[in-house]
Amino acid sequence: MLNSEEVINLEKKFVMQTYNRQPIVISHGKGALVWDLDGKEYIDCFAGIAVNNIGHANPKVALALCYQAQNLIHTSNIYYTKEQAQLAHELTDISRHDRVFFANSGAEANEAAIKLARKFTGKSEIISTINSFHGRTLATVTATGSDKYSEPFKPLPQGFKHVPFGDIKALAEAISDDTAAVIIEAIQGEGGVILPPEGYLKDVESLCDQKDVLFILDEVQTGFGRTGEMFASDLYNIQPDMTTVAKALGGGYPIAALLANERISKGFEIGDHGTTFGGNPLGCAAAIASIEVLKDENLPAKAKELGDYFIDKLAEIADNHQAITQIRGIGLMIGIEIDGNGAEIVDKCREEGVLVNCTAENVIRLTPPLVINKEQIDKVVEVLDKVLS
């Protein structure tokens, strides 16, 4: 059996070095906890980048995956499967949309949304926001509002514009006769947990309606209970024309979806778009089970309650630490803005048995599984208090 050092050495030798990894090998998890190969326990406030909303090793999802794997793992979209049809029904039931296109990642779901927007409207321009994150494919990395992700990959696809997040006037001015769609994250995640200003998303919705521009809401990170509602569109009471989801959809298993209303869905005709694995039976079975767990265990409501608790506890220690410049968030999507070195805090927390992540250079992001409990939150706050001292 390989030990941690051997695993890390193999990775360094054979895997393309595109990730700045933390120096631990994760072996297994349960609920909000994970263990490394050496048996050290961690409270996971990262959840695989806001993916493991229902917790690690959820027995219902594990069972659904085992059962499905014994029957049918893959067959392609050339045939029907009951798992895909059922999941599509379920997704339209819990969202404000009528139809689904299945993909395998957030970037692919956004790529599909951009293609559908152009196909449906016959227009080319896509407007997104500065500091946003929409994925790493060429179109989505171009929509992503930071040059650092796209600069080395020029020439980029044409027709993308960026405006400041939260600035409705700038958006109104940017819309032209050739604008197909606006794509916006409900809450900027990678950008540092930036909440939309009061009324902003509602204003985006009205503006898009008025100007006959499609409104694509990227809920890849905010979806499936993270913000205290099943979707952030419920939280902000908006009805986008399209919504993209991925991260938490499959309970950790990779699957993604583009959701749209009936009228816009018609923009895609047979042969217009496709993927070999999108909506494969294994991913669909995992997603059906995962949504069932979210609903049965009332996890969106728990995220709201625990998020309020978490933010209150953090506010209590904030007074002791000048390094904390702001605490913000909603539900279990929380950012602690630090005047200092975020990476160092991440390292120290890990040594103390808490996994967190630093995004936008100085924001400690907390996105734990929604099944985390108050004792675990207390422990995380205690560790942060110690580490910041």
Ligand X SMILES: *Cc1c(COP(=O)(O)O)cnc(C)c1O
Q: Is 221 in the site for ligand X (CB under 6 A)?
A: yes
Nearest to 244 by CA among 262, 221, 267, 217: 217
Task: Considering the candidates 218, 231, 268, 313, report the single residue annotated as catalytic.
Answer: 218
Interface pick for ligand X out of 55, 106, 278, 279 (rule CB under 6 A): 106
Interface pick for ligand X out of 97, 118, 123, 134 (rule CB under 6 A): 134
Q: Is 304 in the site for ligand X (CB under 6 A)?
A: no
Q: Return the residues of window 150-189 that contact ligand X according to CB under 6 A.
A: 185, 189
Q: How far is the CB of 132 from ligand X (least distance, A)?
A: 8
Interface pick for ligand X out of 205, 218, 229, 241 (rule CB under 6 A): 218
Nearer to ligand X, 130 or 172 (CB): 130
Q: Is 131 in the site for ligand X (CB under 6 A)?
A: no
Nearer to ligand X, 36 or 108 (CB): 108
Nearer to ligand X, 184 or 291 (CB): 184
- Residue 229's φ and ψ, nearest 5 degrees, are -125, 165
Burial group, residue 70, by CB count within 10 angstroms (0-12, 13-18, 19+): exposed
SS3 content of the chain, % helix, strand, coil (to 5): 40, 20, 40
302 contacts: CB under 8 Å, gap ≥ 6: 225, 370, 371
Tokens of 202: 């509602």
Task: Kindly indicate which of the ranges 106-114, 146-154, 195-203, 264-272 contains the residues binding ligand X, using the contact rule CB under 6 A.
Answer: 106-114
Task: Considering the candidates 102, 123, 160, 247, report the single residue annotated as catalytic.
Answer: 247
Q: How far is the CB of 313 from ligand X (least distance, A)?
A: 25
Q: How far is the CB of 190 from ligand X (least distance, A)?
A: 6
247 in catalytic set: yes
Q: Which residues pair with 129 in a beta bridge?
A: 163
Nearest to 257 by CA among 202, 226, 212, 217: 217
Task: Kindly indicate which of the ranges 13-21, 104-112, 205-213, 290-298 contains the residues binding ligand X, using the contact rule CB under 6 A.
Answer: 104-112
Q: Return the residues of window 228-287 that contact ligand X according to CB under 6 A.
A: 246-247
Q: What angle do CA 319, 361, 299 make, to 5 degrees?
A: 70
How many residues sit close enough to ligand X to count as binding (CB under 6 A)? 15
Q: Is 188 helix (H, G, I), strand (E, B) or coil?
A: strand
**H or E segment to which residue 359 belongs:** strand 357-359
- Residue 227's φ and ψ, nearest 5 degrees, are -90, 5
Nearer to ligand X, 84 or 144 (CB): 144
101 in catalytic set: no
218 in catalytic set: yes
Radius of gyration of the chain (CA): 21
Tokens of 152: 């080395």
Asked whether 116 and 242 are in contact (CB, 8 A), the reply is yes
61 contacts: CB under 8 Å, gap ≥ 6: 54, 251, 252, 253, 286, 289, 290, 293
Q: Say how far residue 242 (Cα) sits from the centre of its chain.
A: 16
Q: How far is the CB of 142 from ligand X (least distance, A)?
A: 13
Q: How far is the CB of 270 from ligand X (least distance, A)?
A: 26
Task: Considering the candidates 46, 101, 120, 133, report the single residue annotated as catalytic.
Answer: 133
Q: How far is the CB of 143 from ligand X (least distance, A)?
A: 9
Q: How far is the CB of 189 from ligand X (least distance, A)?
A: 4
Interface pick for ligand X out of 107, 139, 286, 358 (rule CB under 6 A): 107
Nearer to ligand X, 247 or 313 (CB): 247
Q: How far is the CB of 194 from ligand X (least distance, A)?
A: 12
Nearer to ligand X, 30 or 328 (CB): 328
Nearer to ligand X, 65 or 220 (CB): 220
Q: What angle do CA 340, 341, 346 make, to 5 degrees?
A: 130
CA–CA distance, 346 with 335 (Å, rounded to integer): 13
Tokens of 77: 């979209």
Asked whether 57 and 28 are in contact (CB, 8 A), the reply is yes
| Closest residue to ligand X in the complex (CB) | 106
Residues that bind ligand X (CB under 6 A): 105-107, 110, 133-135, 185, 189-190, 218, 220-221, 246-247
Catalogue the active-site residues: 133, 218, 247
